[in-house]
Chain A
Amino acid sequence: GAVVSQHPSWVICKSGTSVKIECRSLDFQATTMFWYRQFPKQSLMLMATSNEGSKATYEQGVEKDKFLINHASLTLSTLTVTSAHPEDSSFYICSALRTAPGGNTIYFGEGSWLTVV
């Protein structure tokens, strides 16, 4: 099946620093990717839609200057958490849209744990 990979799987950073998480579609091209965050025991919350070659579309309440999204190629989207604070600690998950004649499908990455200390 289609594979979406995230890196790193987990990262610890100091408060005030920035951290980048990568999301790659390994066996298909994805013009559209999505970024979610998930707190323990809660569902996934959509943060933004990442569009290849154009600006990301952010959900209401998500700070675009804090969560920078870049989708520079058809297989890579990155999420940069800028000036991270402890409240940004969360599980971040990306997904990629695979379009095919038989139907479209969304595949998710393994997720990335961010801990801000």
Chain B
Amino acid sequence: LAKTTQPISMDSYEGQEVNITCSHNNIATNDYITWYQQFPSQGPRFIIQGYKTKVTNEVASLFIPADRKSSTLSLPRVSLSDTAVYYCLVGLYNQGGKLIFGQGTELSVKP
């Protein structure tokens, strides 16, 4: 299973754009990249998923370079409520959808 590496923590201020990068050097050909957000005492919430290039939805953008060995989650204009742990995962199609969580990135948004 592809292993992911993310910064353990990041700080930001309200209104700023936040970019969280994840490395996944041994990503498999048919692996998708999925990002989740988790608040304390809640299950992870799906944010965005992509395979290559750029994906954008109403809450975030996901940038994936051509070699797919890394990906960057971009959160535009964060607010205090975006303070959470963000997880990058790869897999989904390999191992029947089994997702192995890494440490995640604890994002702290300050006023």
Contact = CB atoms under 8 A, between A and B. Distances in A.
17 contacts: A1-B46, A6-B43, A32-B96, A43-B102, A43-B104, A44-B44, A49-B98, A93-B44, A95-B43, A97-B96, A104-B93, A105-B49, A105-B92, A106-B46, A106-B99, A108-B43, A110-B42
A113 interface: yes
Nearest to B43: A108
B81 interface: no
Contacts of B49: 103, 105
B10 interface: no
Given A93-B44, A111-B42, A104 B97 contact: yes
Interface in B76-111: 87, 92-93, 96-104
Interface residues of B, number: 22
A43 B87 contact: yes
B45 interface: yes
Interface string B31-65: 01010100001111110010000000000000000
B43 A93 contact: yes
Interface of B is mostly: loop
A37 to B, nearest CB: 11
A14 B43 CA distance: 25
Contacts, number: 60
Nearest to A1: B46
Contact of A109 (B36, B43, B102): B43
A67 interface: no
A46 B98 contact: yes
Given A43-B104, A108-B36, A34 B43 contact: no
Nearest to A113: B41
Given A43-B87, A43-B102, A103-B32, A108 B45 contact: yes
